[in-house]
């Protein structure tokens, strides 16, 4: 590579953050002058990917493959283009499988693509092999744990997450997924304890508080369940499921007044919701039966 091309590459890199369009112009000029400048193709790909210009990224890699056929890194980059796009994981797998010399980053992305294709067993086999290369990332553990959970292999997930818990003691996702495992194993108390840890480190969505509420209900603690269903509603007043779960709990407690109160609120928010209508009808019949002599 001559000095003028090196200087232009440096200039393109210099402008990437402040004026990426100028970088594109410089890089295209480099490719016209020296088509076999691989660094220019790779930098263009990175710019287009950062700006979600997937068609342009695909075009530049295809052009690079003309000058660099059978280049493993270009196959990898092409696979990443498709992996980044919804519904194109099959194409990503095809490109990743063209790579002759496999490396950990490739295998990681291949495993993700396999999960998108619902080939979880294949993905797990890859993840278990590459885990030592990425054990500094909590997402590696949680992603693998999610696959175990999807296959109902809760004990494997718990064992993996226990290792991660030691390495990453303030990671909220580790505690959440561990809680999910215990919840699915119907170990409600352990599940609740880990849900609480997940809450401590940042989980606070309406869906999360609803899940904790259901756990408390299964645990037999109606007071806590009511508290979390109400907190879920406070977090997102449009999350209808918590109104339904709360009303069902009030019905089970024979507190028809509060059950009707929350069903009425839910009906005002979503008047066409069939589940709200069914719950309201059930409450009406229960009250009618109760008032019979």
Q: Which of 164, 105, 159 is nearest to 138 (CA)?
A: 164
The pLDDT value recorded for residue 289 is 66
DSSP helix/strand/coil, 178: helix
Domain assignments of the chain as residue spans, ordered by start: 204-293
| Tokens linked to 171 | 């990671």
The pLDDT value recorded for residue 116 is 95
DSSP helix/strand/coil, 200: helix
Q: Measure the CA–CA gap between 244 and 246, rounded to whole angstroms.
A: 5
DSSP 236-256: -TT-HHHHHHHHHHHHHTT-H
Topology of domain 204-293 in CATH is: 1.25.40
State the Cα angle at 38 between 32 and 42, rounded to 5°. 100
Residues of the chain with pLDDT under 70: 1, 289-293
CA-CA-CA-CA torsion sign (180, 186, 188, 193): negative
Backbone angles phi, psi at 257, to 5 degrees: -65, -50
The pLDDT value recorded for residue 6 is 87
Angle between helices 240-252 and 222-235 (to 10 degrees): 160
């Amino acid at each position: 590579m001559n000095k003028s091309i090196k200087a232009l590459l440096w200039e393109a890199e210099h402008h990437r953050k402040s004026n990426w369009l100028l970088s594109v112009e410089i890089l295209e000029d480099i490719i016209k002058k020296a088509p076999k400048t691989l660094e220019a193709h790779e930098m263009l790909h990175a710019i287009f990917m950062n700006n979600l210009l997937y068609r342009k990224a695909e075009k530049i890699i295809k052009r690079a493959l003309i000058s660099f056929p059978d280049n493993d890194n270009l196959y990898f980059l092409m696979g990443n283009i498709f992996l980044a796009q919804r519904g194109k994981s099959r194409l990503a797998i095809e490109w990743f499988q063209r790579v002759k010399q496999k490396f950990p980053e490739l295998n990681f992305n291949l495993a993700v693509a396999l999960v998108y294709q619902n080939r979880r067993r294949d993905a797990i086999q890859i993840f278990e092999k590459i885990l030592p290369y990425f054990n500094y990332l909590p997402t590696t553990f949680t992603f693998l744990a999610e696959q175990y959970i999807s296959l109902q292999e809760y004990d494997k997930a718990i064992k993996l997450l226990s290792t991660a818990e030691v390495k990453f003691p303030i990671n909220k996702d580790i505690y959440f997924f561990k809680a999910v495992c215990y919840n699915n194993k119907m170990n409600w108390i352990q599940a609740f304890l880990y849900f609480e840890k997940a809450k401590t480190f940042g989980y606070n969505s309406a869906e999360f508080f609803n899940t904790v509420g259901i756990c408390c209900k299964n645990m037999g603690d109606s007071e806590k369940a009511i508290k979390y269903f109400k907190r879920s509603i406070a977090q997102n007043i449009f999350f209808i499921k918590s109104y339904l779960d709360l009303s069902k709990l009030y019905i089970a407690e024979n507190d028809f007044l509060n059950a009707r109160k929350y069903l009425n609120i839910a009906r005002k928010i979503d008047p066409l919701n069939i589940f709200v209508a069914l719950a309201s009808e059930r409450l009406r019949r229960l009250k009618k039966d109760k008032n019979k002599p």
